[in-house]
A and B are shown apart, each in its own frame.
Chain A
Amino acid sequence: MAKEEKDPHEHKEQQKNPLAISRRTFLKGVGTTAIATSITIAPLPLPSAADAAPPPARREAWIQLTVNDTVHRLKVKSHWTLLEVLRKQAGLTGTKKFCDRGSCGACTVIVDGRAVYACSFLAIAADNRKVLTIEGLLQGGKLHPIQEAFLEHDGLQCGFCTPGQIMSVKALLDKNPRPSADEIKEGLSGNVCRCSAYPKILKSALAAARRG
């Protein structure tokens, strides 16, 4: 492949993974042989009339996914989850895979403003949606106030569940900037911490709400 200029806006993982294509790489790549052989431009689906014949079956599709304000155009299989695509294609491994059954919360991301389990969301169904992952909380290289609060109050032990916990806190505070302790417990009820750092997670979330 022709050597490309390094783009500071590209994620490192993304550059390592030839399957990860952001809008930027996609546009740059068009015309270079190595990429052109592996990409065909799929037509965008046309809106169909309500009673028209259903669209055909798809085993794979091009999707457009906005992750942390970067537009990615990705070719995904119908049975791939958003979690797999975020980690393997977009190279964003901050979102963790653990139970992979929608029970533990390690894979929590925010899709169109709502916290969801990325392991239980088909990537193909995420076409044209906006996703916020833990990587997107970084603002100009600075940690987000919620991340600062978790550091300051030791809201973790092994740290594996932390990205999911923080995304749940983010989704909660976006809706309810001054939650009570009970509201935080409810907001984080879908995130398991096997180290049982719950009291400090709660303390961190309360502190994050105060910093707001």
Chain B
Amino acid sequence: MKPFDYYTVTSVAQAVSLLSKHRHKAAVLAGGSDLLAMMKDRLEGPKLKLPAALIDIKGIKELSYIKEQKNGVRIGAGTVLADIASSELIAKRYPLLHQAAGQLGVPQIRNVGTLGGNLCQRPRCWYFRGKSFANCFRKGGGTCYAPGGENRYHAVFGGSNCYIVHPSDLAPALIALDARVEIASPKGSRMVPLEKFYVGPDKNILGETILGPQELLAAVEIPAPAAASRGAYLKLKERQAFDFAIVSVAVNLSVAGGSVGQARIAFGGLAPVPLRAVKAEAGLKGKALKDAIAAACKAAAEGAEPLSQNGYKVDAARGVLEEALLSLA
């Protein structure tokens, strides 16, 4: 790795103060699984520079907790993934989040990786990660190599100029649970729906979120589950151990009197952002779940624009959604 200035901070105030001083030159270090690998690869481009400073937030005690509160559960961004996966409170109240946390990474990753790190991880696109492809849009260059290249894992929705897919497992799960995130900055903090935290390449080609250079993701708040709600998280992988999703789906439904009340569905692995399946949700509401599954799955795949090698993802998306809905019917 190239040498860097290393800071250890013990409070959010210290972290954002350093971030506002160093801005784009600094990177936040938590578990380090993603960041250190990118730094070892010396991944750079016209607008992607190796960080000159790392701000290690592992020592911020106030960022590590899972708390039950009046209107749901609040999880600190520094909470280690293994603690989320093994939390009885999460397993009981949000089974789909429990399932997503248990399926991501491996013990060695979950033991150090954090909630915030999982939500802010960079895409796995092999052109973005490949040192030889410095002209990639996401590194500030002038092209996307995916449409004319090897694109079997790339986006089938919302690509337009860059075809990354969002790799997080927790993001679709938390979006289906209607979670909000707290973003801290030197001026104070703001709450944003997690769905709005992510932006596609048309809005931000150099990053996946709205997080400013002086901001830090501080916490996630999940509202209390609706009465009679049920959820499922399914992940399709090429390898059964240690793999990112080809397609994943998080489904959160409330069912009363035989028909679907609320429905929230979010996909991972399909688009540059964790993708809400709004049409499929609408197709379920007010209907008996079993009768509405086929139409909802069809609606979920509408508008897909596959590249030369990834058309199978459209079928896969329909398939995982069908399986998830059947498991809840």
- Chain A residues 90 to 125 lying within 8 A of chain B, measured CB to CB, are 100-103, 105, 108, 114-117, 120-122, 124-125
- Chain B residues 27 to 58 lying within 8 A of chain A, measured CB to CB, are 29, 31-33, 36-37, 40-41, 53-54, 56, 58
B304 beta carbon closer than 8 Å to chain A = no
**Which residues on the B side are within 8 Å of A124 (C-beta)?**
6
Closest to B8 in A: A55
- Could you give, for residues 27-60 of chain A, a 1 whenever the CB lies within 8 Å of some chain B CB and a 0 otherwise? 0000000000000000000011011111111110
Q: CA of A186 to CA of B108 in the docked complex: distance in angstroms? A: 11
B9 x A57 contact (CB < 8 A):
no
Closest to B62 in A: A50
Partner of B112, one of A55, A77, A120: A120
Q: CA of A49 to CA of B58 in the docked complex: distance in angstroms? A: 16
A168 beta carbon closer than 8 Å to chain B = yes
B53 x A120 contact (CB < 8 A):
no
A187 x B107 contact (CB < 8 A):
yes
Residues of A in contact, count (CB < 8 Å): 40
**Which residues on the A side are within 8 Å of B108 (C-beta)?**
102, 105, 108, 115-117, 168, 190
B228 beta carbon closer than 8 Å to chain A = no
A120 x B7 contact (CB < 8 A):
no
A17 beta carbon closer than 8 Å to chain B = no
**Which residues on the B side are within 8 Å of A51 (C-beta)?**
11, 13-14
A54 x B32 contact (CB < 8 A):
no
* With known contacts A116-B111, A121-B112, A190-B106, A102–B33 Cβ distance under 8 A: yes
B37 x A120 contact (CB < 8 A):
yes
B106 x A57 contact (CB < 8 A):
no
**Which residues on the A side are within 8 Å of B227 (C-beta)?**
none
A81 beta carbon closer than 8 Å to chain B = yes
A180 beta carbon closer than 8 Å to chain B = no
A157 beta carbon closer than 8 Å to chain B = no
Partner of A122, one of B6, B13, B82, B242: B6
A120 x B14 contact (CB < 8 A):
no
* With known contacts A55-B8, A115-B108, A125–B2 Cβ distance under 8 A: no
B13 x A79 contact (CB < 8 A):
no
**Which residues on the A side are within 8 Å of B10 (C-beta)?**
47-48, 50
Q: How far is the CB of B311 from chain A (nearest CB, A)?
A: 28
Q: CA of A172 to CA of B106 in the docked complex: distance in angstroms? A: 12
B7 x A57 contact (CB < 8 A):
yes
Q: CA of A53 to CA of B15 in the docked complex: distance in angstroms? A: 10
Residues of B in contact, count (CB < 8 Å): 39
B5 x A77 contact (CB < 8 A):
no
Q: How far is the CB of A151 from chain B (nearest CB, A)?
A: 24
**Which residues on the B side are within 8 Å of A102 (C-beta)?**
33, 36-37, 108-109
**Which residues on the A side are within 8 Å of B112 (C-beta)?**
114, 116-117, 120-121
Q: How far is the CB of B40 from chain A (nearest CB, A)?
A: 6
**Which residues on the A side are within 8 Å of B4 (C-beta)?**
59, 78-79
**Which residues on the A side are within 8 Å of B109 (C-beta)?**
102, 117, 190
Residue of A55, A58, A105 most packed against chain B (CB within 10 A): A55
B7 x A54 contact (CB < 8 A):
yes
**Which residues on the B side are within 8 Å of A105 (C-beta)?**
106, 108
Q: CA of A38 to CA of B226 in the docked complex: distance in angstroms? A: 64
B148 beta carbon closer than 8 Å to chain A = no
* With known contacts A54-B14, A120-B112, A100–B40 Cβ distance under 8 A: yes
**Which residues on the B side are within 8 Å of A190 (C-beta)?**
105-109, 241-242
B241 x A189 contact (CB < 8 A):
yes
B17 beta carbon closer than 8 Å to chain A = yes
Q: CA of A116 to CA of B33 in the docked complex: distance in angstroms? A: 10
Q: CA of A57 to CA of B9 in the docked complex: distance in angstroms? A: 10
**Which residues on the B side are within 8 Å of A55 (C-beta)?**
7-9
Residue of A52, A81, A116 most packed against chain B (CB within 10 A): A116
B3 beta carbon closer than 8 Å to chain A = yes
**Which residues on the B side are within 8 Å of A120 (C-beta)?**
31-33, 36-37, 112
24 A-B interface contacts by CB (under 8 A): A48-B10, A50-B13, A50-B62, A52-B14, A55-B7, A57-B5, A57-B6, A59-B3, A78-B54, A79-B4, A81-B36, A100-B40, A101-B37, A101-B41, A114-B111, A114-B112, A116-B111, A120-B32, A120-B37, A122-B56, A125-B8, A189-B241, A190-B106, A190-B107
The 5 closest A-B pairs by CB, nearest first: A190-B106, A57-B5, A78-B6, A189-B241, A50-B11
Given contacts A77-B3, A172-B107, 8 further A-B contacts (CB under 8 A): A50-B14, A57-B7, A114-B82, A115-B107, A120-B37, A125-B58, A171-B107, A190-B109
